[in-house]
Amino acid sequence: MCKCFLKYFTVFAVGAMAYGLIEIAARGFTHITMGFLGGISMIVISILNDMRRKGLPLITELIIITIFITVCEFIAGIILNVNLHLNIWDYSQIPMNIMGQICVPFMFIWLILSYVGIIVEEFMRAHLFFSGKALYVMHK
């Protein structure tokens, strides 16, 4: 139990820090809630990587993660930006947006970052947790 908690805590922390750093690099600032979403997303990636070892195709994993991140971003946007008026982000000027909280072009960014997240989680799994060979290649 403790080993599992430590693994998921580490995966969460790496996802939270990575997402925050990516946002800071891209737009100059971030919000703590975005780190939380990045951490939760990395845990989902870890769980789906377990499922991929049992036969889940990589493309299916990428689609699930992309949809998960988009739905989480929409829910967070409604709560934080619309209801609490924190104005953390606003996609209303970007084509194909929904209520300024999510947009189709950013879904492609989440898809790419999801693949990067898969590689990072696989690296951690193989070299930090010593729990299996990393599946870096685009098969399955």
- Give per-residue pLDDT as tens, 101-115: 999 999 999 999 999
Segment 66-90 mean pLDDT: 97
How many domains does the chain contain in total? 1
Can you give the residue range of the structural domain that contains 96?
2-127
pLDDT for 59 beyond 50? yes
Quick check: is 83 in a domain?
A: yes
What average pLDDT is seen over the chain? 92
Q: Which pLDDT value is given to residue 134?
A: 66
139 in any annotated domain: no
Q: Report pLDDT for 140.
A: 46
CA-angle at 13, arms to 98 and 103, nearest 5°: 10
**Is residue 110 situated within a structural domain?**
yes
pLDDT for 135: 65
- Could you tell me if residue 136 is inside a domain? no
Residue 127: per-residue pLDDT: 85
